[in-house]
């Protein structure tokens, strides 16, 4: 029963990320720029984390450790900048698919960092994921109205930065309480976003108060909840099952874009989504079996 509880937390963390693109699109429709939306999300999200941190366990850190964590938050901030730029020229259902390329990009980063050459199963899973992405992008259709080169570029850059963030965040601060680690990572991201997009909306009273609801919502679901839910649930479900559960982000994002934004999502796109999820599952289940074999060997 406890395992189901922790699995549910990780699943909900993915769902939280899945709703972001829909509300960013709504903010754009109400006249807010990408700079204002991104800045508000990270500002409000970081403030909420530091507020929560005042009532939770903290550990003393050296300057070197603090700088490492703040620096590791930089690709987190870049992900928001790139992804929300992609949403300016792509549909929400398409932008999320480009972001999801972080799955195979993460394998490339792992290969470069640790010289771990991808095996056959991983290569097959990447091929399935890429083919599914092509179906969702509708590249086999004669219509290319929903696809732009700039959107593709921003989407892939978001995927690279997100894969980098996941790699770095798993390598630093593993001994820290979840809230403290999340607060420092978010602070690093917020500093970068503030440099790229100076938060002038703070000085404009009317803009600030009309933007605040979006900043609070996006900050809560994009900066606060997912890292906390993952930090609590991931140690209990493991990285392999965790990867499958976090992919709930994809169907939620596409479902939200269809229901709330009325974006067309034909059957071929849902087929692509299913293939992407199969590709992720193949890779994760293979890693799960490998981990199980290692544990079995340790006990013998």
Question: What average pLDDT does this structure show over 80-99?
Answer: 91
Judge whether 49 and 146 are in contact, CB under 8 Å.
no
Q: How far apart are the first and last CA of the chain?
A: 29
Q: Which residue has the higher pLDDT, 299 or 52?
A: 52
* Chain mean pLDDT for the chain: 84
Checking if the pLDDT of 242 tops 80, the result is no
Residue 61: the pLDDT is 92
Of 128-132, 237-241, 250-254, 272-276, minimum mean pLDDT range: 237-241
Which of 148, 10, 169 minimizes the C-alpha distance to 77? 169
Which of 91, 98, 76 minimizes the C-alpha distance to 25? 91
Of 38-42, 133-137, 173-177, minimum mean pLDDT range: 133-137
Q: Which residue has the higher pLDDT, 161 or 205?
A: 161
């Amino acid at each position: 029963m406890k395992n189901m509880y922790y699995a549910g937390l990780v699943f909900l963390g993915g769902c939280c990320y899945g709703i972001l693109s829909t509300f960013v699109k709504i903010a754009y429709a109400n006249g807010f720029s990408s700079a204002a939306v991104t800045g508000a999300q990270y500002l409000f999200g970081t403030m909420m984390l530091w507020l929560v941190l005042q009532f939770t366990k903290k550990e003393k850190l050296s300057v070197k450790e603090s700088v490492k964590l703040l620096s590791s938050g930089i690709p987190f901030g870049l992900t928001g900048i790139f992804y929300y730029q992609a949403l300016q020229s792509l549909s929400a259902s398409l932008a999320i698919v480009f972001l999801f390329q972080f799955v195979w990009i993460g394998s490339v980063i792992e290969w470069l960092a640790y010289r771990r050459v991808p095996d056959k199963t991983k290569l097959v899973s990447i091929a399935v994921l890429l083919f599914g992405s092509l179906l969702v992008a509708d590249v086999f259709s004669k219509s290319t109205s929903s696809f732009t080169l700039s959107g593709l570029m921003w989407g892939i850059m978001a995927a690279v930065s997100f894969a980098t963030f996941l790699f770095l965040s798993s390598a630093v601060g593993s001994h820290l309480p979840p809230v403290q680690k999340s607060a420092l990572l978010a602070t690093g991201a917020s500093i970068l976003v503030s440099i790229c997009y100076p938060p002038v909306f703070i000085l404009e009273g009317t803009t600030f108060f009309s933007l605040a609801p979006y900043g609070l919502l996006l900050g809560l679901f994009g900066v606060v909840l997912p890292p906390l839910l993952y930090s609590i649930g991931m140690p209990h479900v493991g990285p392999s099952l965790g990867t499958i559960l976090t992919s709930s982000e994809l169907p939620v994002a596409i479902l939200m874009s269809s229901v709330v934004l009325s974006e067309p999502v034909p059957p071929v796109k849902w087929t692509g989504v299913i293939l992407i999820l199969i590709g992720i599952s193949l890779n994760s289940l293979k890693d799960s079996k490998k981990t199980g074999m290692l544990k079995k060997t340790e006990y013998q």
